[in-house]
Each structure stands twice: as C-alpha cells, then as structure tokens.
Amino acid sequence: MAVILLKNRDFQSNITIQQKQILKYAQISGFSVHATEIDNSSGETVLEERKSFKGFLRSLKPNDTVLIYDLWSLTTKVDELVKIFECLLRRNITLHICNKHFVVSNQTPLFDVLELLAKQRELNLNPEKTVSVGRPKGRMSRSKFDDNRARIVSMLELGSSVNHIAKELGFSRSSLKDYINSRDLKELASIKKTLPKQDNKKIDKLIAQQAQASKQECALIAQI
C-alpha cells in the first residue's frame, strides 16, 4: 500500500505544493496511492512526544510504501531521522523522498543513507546554505578505494589524518584526499560522533540490515 504523508506545520512548502509534487512523482513511478495522511506535529519535537505521528508509523504495515515531499516532512533532526529510518526499515517499509527522487529501503546502499543524513546535518548547521540532498544524477564511477571505504570512514571517525590513512592502506595521499572529498566521507564519519550513543546503536543496526544489499550491488557493478 502506498501512503502519502504531508507536513502541515512547515514554512518551506505548503500542503498544496507538497501534494502536487508527490502525486506527479507517484504517477511517473507508477504508484497507486491508497491514502493520504497529514502530520500537524512540529518537526523540532522528539519522536516520543509526537503522538499522532507515532500513531501513523504504527498504522503502517510491512512492505508498505510512504511518499513524502522532503526530509523535513519527517523531522529536521538527524538523530530523530535515524529513529524513523530504523522503525521503517525494520518492517521493510520503503520511503520515497519525492522532491529529491531518493529512496530509502533495505536495498539502499548504506553509504547513500549516511550521505543523506550527512547532508541534512550540514543543512542544520548552515541553514542559509543550499545543500543538495540525495544521490546525484548518474552513479559515480567505481574507484579503487571503494573496497576500503568502510575502513576509511572508521579511521576518519577515530580522528586519523588523511596522511596516516594513506600510509596505513598504502595509497597515494593526494588521490585518497580527492576520494574522501568527492564522497563527503568526513561528513559521513562525523555523523556517528555527533549522535547520542543510543542512536549510534541504531546506525549499527542500519549497517547490519544493509550489508548484504551493499555486497550484492558491488557484485553487480563489477559485472558491468
């Protein structure tokens, strides 16, 4: 079942604009919309205090699809997004962010989800800056660093310098630096450092859920 979620209390885009964009996306994507829900709670409020929104999440069934206009339709807080993503993915519910043409599901590669969270965090820190959230058109070409990406992020999270990581992994410093910058890996590494410990556990859960999907994607890319 496909459900539209509209955000009523938001200054960025009114309900009419949200609905128009979502319906256009649904038509292009071939979705048959079964219901529309309107969330009146504040995106600044923690999930535990948003009774109506929690009721909406509970009403969803496994394998349902949720269509939203943008991330702020759920919340503006990165740590709250982690909670919501974990709630949806645990029941195999797919989320479509229509304005960004971005899909969050158990098949979405982990680093794409982390990149989405990193961009939202950057937007929260610099609200006046326009940040492109979502995957760029076309996929970045495969890099020799990709097989070590998880390790690179872990080392960045621990505070290792690019020079140290390059020596440790036997790579050229300049090439590794370009790779880290092009993939926003420092931003990805900073997410787990800024989230509360309880939400770090949820990030780890996301990693476990998507590990198999990431391996399958890498295998497919290698065949192209």
pLDDT digits (tens, 9 = 90+) for 50-91: 888 999 999 999 999 999 999 989 988 888 999 999 999 999
Residues 114-135: what's their mean pLDDT? 69
Higher pLDDT, 132 or 137: 132
Domain range annotation of the chain:
2-125, 146-223
pLDDT reading at 162 higher than 50: yes
Q: Strand 94-97 and strand 102-104: pairing?
A: antiparallel
Cβ neighbour number for residue 173 with a 10 Å cutoff: 14
pLDDT over 90 percentage in the chain: 26
Q: What is the pLDDT of residues 68-79, one digit of tens each?
A: 999 989 988 888
Which pLDDT value is given to residue 220? 43
Which pLDDT value is given to residue 216? 46
Residues 132-145: what's their mean pLDDT? 53
- 82: its two tokens: 């982690």
From 3.40.50.300, 3.40.50.1390, 3.30.70.1290, 3.20.20.80, which CATH number describes the 2-125 domain?
A: 3.40.50.1390
When the pLDDT of each residue in the chain is averaged and rounded to a whole number, the result is 78
Cα distance between residue 138 and residue 119, in whole Å:
18
Q: What is the pLDDT of residues 187-223, one digit of tens each?
A: 767 765 655 555 555 555 555 444 444 444 444 434 4
Residues 134-144: what's their mean pLDDT? 51
- 160: its two tokens: 């290792």
Which pLDDT value is given to residue 164? 94
The CB-side HSE value for 109 (13 A sphere, CA atoms) comes to: 17
Cα distance between residue 109 and residue 99, in whole Å:
20
Which pLDDT value is given to residue 32? 86
CB contact at 8 A, 117 and 78: yes
- 132: its two tokens: 């492109």
Residues 98-116: what's their mean pLDDT? 88
